[in-house]
Amino acid sequence: MKKELKPTTAVVPCPVVLLSVAGEEKSNIITLSWVANVCSKPPTVVAGIRPQRHSYEMVKNAGDFVLNIPSIDQIDAAEFAGTKSGRDFDKFKECNLTPVPATKVQSPMIGECPINIECKVIKVENAGAHDVFTAEVVAVHIDESVLDDKGRFIPSEARLFTYLPLNGEYWSLGEHLQA
């Protein structure tokens, strides 16, 4: 027997992403889970941000951002950056994270994250409670420690995690499956 829930997307596990953005006075970090790949040619992603969030105007003004994919080592930073406002805190300082210059955008990368994806905003559209920033991926940086000798990504080495909105819980990614 299945139970019918009210319409929601909260049952789908979501990525945990630390979006970093340059600001006039200081850069900021916001934790997002409403992020997805939408196209491979050109490489394009979407990120949903509520207009009330401090980072929202920063991303609109900068016209770019970096999607930093954290490992479980940054879970506390992800929680902090997702629950505290950059209006009140310097999240890089509070989370002991290192801003690193990006190569193609003005927004900084987070040095401690194993994956950094530089993005340039293409358009912004309202989708309800969130606006959707569509962005082209212009550079990707991956820590060599999470690559094998052939340059392939090893998820178990990156120790990534996901967020389950329905329960408000983080989960680590499991084992490699083969079909």
pLDDT mean over 84-94: 95
Separation of alpha carbons 88 and 82, rounded Å: 13
CATH number at residue 151: 2.30.110.10
Cα separation, 31 vs 44, in Å, equals: 19
Q: Tell me how far apart the terminal alpha carbons of the chain are, to the nearest angstrom.
A: 28
Question: What pLDDT sits at residue 10?
Answer: 87
Q: Render 100-138 in DSSP notation, one character per residue.
A: E--SSSSSPEETTSSEEEEEEEEEEEE-SSSEEEEEEEE
Mean pLDDT in residue range 157-172: 94
pLDDT of 54 over the 90 cut: yes
Q: Which residue has the higher pLDDT, 177 or 127?
A: 127
Counting the structural domains of the chain, the total is 1
Is residue 140 domain-resident? yes
Of 153, 133, 149, the C-alpha closest to 141 is 153
Q: Name residues whose C-beta falls within 8 Å of residue 92's C-beta, 6 or more positions apart in sequence.
A: 26, 27, 29, 98, 99, 110
Which pLDDT value is given to residue 138? 99
Tell me the residue range of the domain where 62 lies: 14-172
| Average pLDDT along the chain | 96
pLDDT in tens, 12-39: 899 999 999 999 889 999 999 999 999 9
Domain assignment present for 27: yes
Q: pLDDT confidence of 40, banded at 50, 70, 90?
A: very high
- Per the domain annotation, does 108 fall within a domain? yes
What strands, in cross-sheet order, belong to the sheet with 161-164?
A: 14-15, 161-164, 169-172
- Phi/psi for 110 (5° steps) reads -100, 115
Structure token digits, residue 112: 């401690």
For residues 163 and 10, which has the higher predicted lDDT (pLDDT)? 163
